[in-house]
Chains A and B, each alone.
Chain A
């Protein structure tokens, strides 16, 4: 989820260590994404709990804060 959102947002520069108390349990290739979520206020959880199941409520908040925090949406021509 974290990596999806981070790459979806263009994969901006991000730390791979940012103070999650369960840092070691986050897969190395997911760490930048997790830190990007934290740095941008998309998740404030600490511990991060990398293998916990994401709920639809959390997803709504994540998507809103990621793409929709500024009501950013794409409209295309059919």
Chain B
């Protein structure tokens, strides 16, 4: 992933590139065929450049200052800045091109392990670990401190690097504390604009400077498979833990009721909790968030709205209402209200087949995901509407008849 000023590009696992975000200058529209594969991509203010498999660099986006005029030859890494670009060649020498208002493309000679193009300055790490910067130095962003570094990143008016002792050091503008990093150890750093962020050796992202909290640590993914079993006025909500915990164990979960906002919490590893005091006359839905040491996830997908009240209070006006025996009226109204069966007329004296029964029980359980085919020998005789239900009954062990379910019986 590489983020520019207002666009972002990423390398897919098949090595093709995809960009999204601002595209006024064409910075999100690679000029290469879709199947072109890359080893690295870098997004800058108005440009994007990528190192293609094989080592040639291609750039797209703004070309007002020759940013797209890539020098011939191969590169191993490329870095896009404000209006200029720098790259490291296989022999570890540097080349920069594009806007040169302050000497930001005047790359020094020598061998480098890395380079980073900033807004109007650039910095590189020499193979001996020392850092050298060139270009605009109005805030001291091109005056690196003494020491040996593993990586460097050039921002707007600031640069930061990770020293060999794993501490981050920044130089240049300290507006809003952006050049005052916390103690390490760090593995990587990005200097950014008004704020900067570092990746610690425990793989936690820490940010400092303006809006540091907005660009803070990655939180876990949302829980999945959320289910709410509702009874009059209360609900038991359960879920599956997120697949991605962002490298830090999930410590707890919060269930939220919409509308209303109240809910319940659980301490991991518990994956259910109960909500009481729900209105019995209005539909609600439930979402769940996961929390770890780094923060909270986005809310999960919400459950289908359900009224947590007693069903069948208002009898459904079936067209054959008078032909429904008293003992069945409330049940029939509930089945209709909850979309378990929506037949009208209700046909209370009609026979129930095993296929219909399967469909009804499955719908009562919330129509959980279930295949339409699961090896019943008489599958072709099962009506389509009943197939997921029949397979669900089989998977849950509710019916164990096999190989046939005898759907017409």
**Chain A interfacial positions (CB closer than 8 Å to B):** 1, 4, 7-8, 53-65, 67-68, 70-78
Contacts and interface: CB of A to CB of B under 8 A. Distances in A.
Nearest to A44: B327
Given A60-B332, A73-B229, A73-B306, 14 more contacts: A4-B357, A7-B398, A55-B352, A56-B341, A56-B347, A56-B350, A57-B346, A60-B331, A62-B331, A65-B331, A68-B331, A74-B227, A74-B229, A76-B366
Contacts of A58: 328, 352
Given A4-B357, A75-B286, A64 B312 contact: yes
B340 A71 contact: no
B111 interface: no
A21 to B, nearest CB: 21
Nearest to A1: B357
Interface in B319-378: 324-325, 327-328, 330-332, 334-335, 338, 340-341, 343, 346-352, 357, 360-361, 364-368
A38 to B, nearest CB: 15
Interface in B287-327: 300-306, 308-312, 324-325, 327
A53 B364 CA distance: 22
B301 A56 contact: no
B311 A77 contact: no
A77 B398 contact: no
Interface residues of B, number: 55
Contact of A77 (B229, B303, B365): B303
A59 B360 contact: yes
Contacts of A75: 227-228, 230, 285-286, 303-306, 366
A22 B285 CA distance: 46
Nearest to A6: B398
Contacts of A56: 328, 332, 341, 343, 346-352
A74 B331 CA distance: 16
B368 A72 contact: no
A63 B350 contact: no
B225 A77 contact: yes
A60 to B, nearest CB: 3
6 contacts: A54-B357, A56-B341, A70-B310, A71-B308, A76-B226, A76-B304
Given A70-B231, A71-B310, A57 B328 contact: yes
B259 interface: no
